[in-house]
Chains A and B, each alone.
Chain A
Amino acid sequence: MGEMPVVPDPAALPWWSALLLPVLLGFVTWLALVGDAAFAGERAALAVPGREVARLLVGQRRRTVAGDVVLGRIGAGVLPVAALLAAAVLPLGERPVADLSVGVVWFNAMEVLAWAAVWMVGWGSNSALGLVGGYRFVAQGLAYELPHMFAIITAALGAESLRLTTIVDAQRDLWFVVIMPVAFVVYLMSAAAMAFWGPFDAPVDRDVAGGAAAELSGVDRLVFAGGRWLLLVTAAAMAVPLFLGGGAGPLLPAWVWVAVKTAAVLALLLWLRHRFPTVRMDRYVEFAWVVLIPLTIAQALAVALVVLGGA
């Protein structure tokens, strides 16, 4: 009781890496889009992202009557910005762009911005379907966020630190996915859900004509959809330092291992989307509250006992 924890020196990349981060994240997202197109069985998958971006860039913005342009634009803009800020604490190889002492909480705080963003976009167009989509995300948000939070915190608990580089260091002997498999699975599910992705895409589903994004076209749609992809890539990449040992691996340098593991997690999430239909919202919300939350708490308890026993 009462002894101060030792604060390790931050191990961040040089400042100019902050300028490269958007480029890197954009490049990985581009690859993920190509992969997604290939999964969907499109011919010439390599050209799909470029074609789509060009189409949206020249497309006209749709204007709706009495829309709330301020909130709508801010909402769409927040998505990519939040994804980038979340990626700042991501160890690219051994070091992140910003090695915050509260990296895990920072990541989560940036992620939940998406929650506000989708609602703002849905509200902004003053369209019934858009609003339905926005409210869907808000209604499910807590059911996504709470298991997500517990899963992330379990990893932090295992390393006794909220700093991502320390969490990676703590996995030198054993990856956290081995001692906290439940947290890992819940993390993957809720990460997809927080990016309203795959089976959890009810807020932008076809049954409400695109939901929150129903009235978006042109640049607005590009920013919204791009932001969502960036968010998904960031969330997938965060699974690597949290559960998969970060850059640990034989022979190859750390950054290659991070890239390989991130690609594997992303591929899993892409496959998930093409394999499963949209989950009925009320079913998942109930499942999250009744099954996932108690499970993640039990997982955290088990890890806490292991940590206490090892100390």
Chain B
Amino acid sequence: MLEIVLFWVLAAAALVFGYLVFRLDSMAQVTFALLASFLAVAGLVLLLGLGYLGVVIALMMVIEMVIMAVFMIMFMMNPAGLMPMTMVHNKAGSAVIAIGTFVVLAAGILLVDWPTREGEPAPDPTFALGEALMGGQMLTMMTLGVGLFATIVATVVLSTDRGRYGGER
């Protein structure tokens, strides 16, 4: 019962905040409305029993949106939130696309002939999901991950030659 209530509350929150992204006129508020929508989705993933994925979505989205806020406000059309802006350009067209996509996806959910469950959920769904996704490639993925991360660190090191006060060390 509680799960059903939570599902509807979170689903509604995800939609409402997603809608607000296109209604609010301040880039800062838009960014955090988007974050709120993502957090509601993270809650839905938690409801599925995927604890790790849900919490990681929340963690990554907070970090991502804060960084995004910096760039969006820097590049988008309401400098420092002083002038009202809108996220929508082609109003009629974007509304049609958005509503159309929503209707198609929702119809898909209702119309698809879902298979009945066979067997039991794994004791640790996160572990099972990781196995299913990566399987034998775990070592490759880990090596890639560390390699990518080393590249990021190296790039930052190379690009930050000077600090705020010039080249002195």
Q: Residues of A at under 8 Å CB distance from B? A: 1-2, 4-7, 66, 68, 70-71, 74, 100-102, 105-106, 108-109, 112-113, 115-116, 119-120, 123, 126, 131, 135, 138, 141-142, 145, 162, 280-283, 285-286, 289-290, 293-294, 297
Residues of B within 8 A of A119 (CB): 66, 69
CB pair B63 A5 closer than 8 Å: no
Is A135 in contact with B70, judged by CB distance below 8 angstroms?
yes
- Asked if B122 and A289 sit within 8 Å, CB to CB, the answer is no
Whether a CB of chain A sits under 8 angstroms from the CB of B28 is yes
**B19 interface residue per 8 A CB criterion:** no
Chain A residues with CB under 8 Å of B28's CB are 68, 71, 120, 123
Contact B62 A113, beta carbon cutoff 8 Å: yes
User: Are A4 and B51 closer than 8 Å at their CB atoms?
Assistant: no
Asked if B153 and A294 sit within 8 Å, CB to CB, the answer is: yes
Q: How many A-B residue pairs have CB under 8 A?
A: 95
Q: Is B153 within 8 A of A282, CB to CB?
A: no
B-chain residues with CB within 8 Å of residue A105 when the two chains form the complex: 52, 55-56, 59
Complex Cα spacing A131 to B73, Å: 12
List of B residues within 8 angstroms of A113 by Cβ: 62
A67 to nearest B CB, angstroms? 10
Task: State which residues 26-52 of B face A: CB under 8 Å.
Answer: 26, 28-29, 32, 35, 51-52
Chain A nearest Cβ from B156, distance in angstroms: 5
Our pick among A131, A138, A280 for the contact of B67 (Cβ within 8 Å) is: A138
Given contacts A4-B122, A290-B157, contact A283 B163 (CB under 8 A): yes
Complex alpha-carbon distance, A197 and B117, angstroms: 51
Q: Considering the chains assembled together, what is the distance between the CA atoms of A162 and B26 in angstroms?
A: 39
Q: Chain A residues near B89 (CB, 8 Å)?
A: none
User: Cα distance A4–B127 when bound, in Å?
Assistant: 7
Q: Return A241 CB to nearest CB of chain B, in Å.
A: 17
Which B residue's beta carbon lies closest to that of A131?
A: B80
25 pairs from A and B in contact (CB 8 Å cutoff) = A4-B123, A100-B51, A100-B55, A101-B52, A102-B55, A105-B52, A105-B55, A106-B55, A109-B62, A112-B62, A115-B63, A116-B62, A116-B65, A116-B66, A119-B69, A120-B28, A126-B81, A138-B70, A142-B63, A281-B164, A289-B153, A290-B153, A293-B153, A294-B153, A297-B149
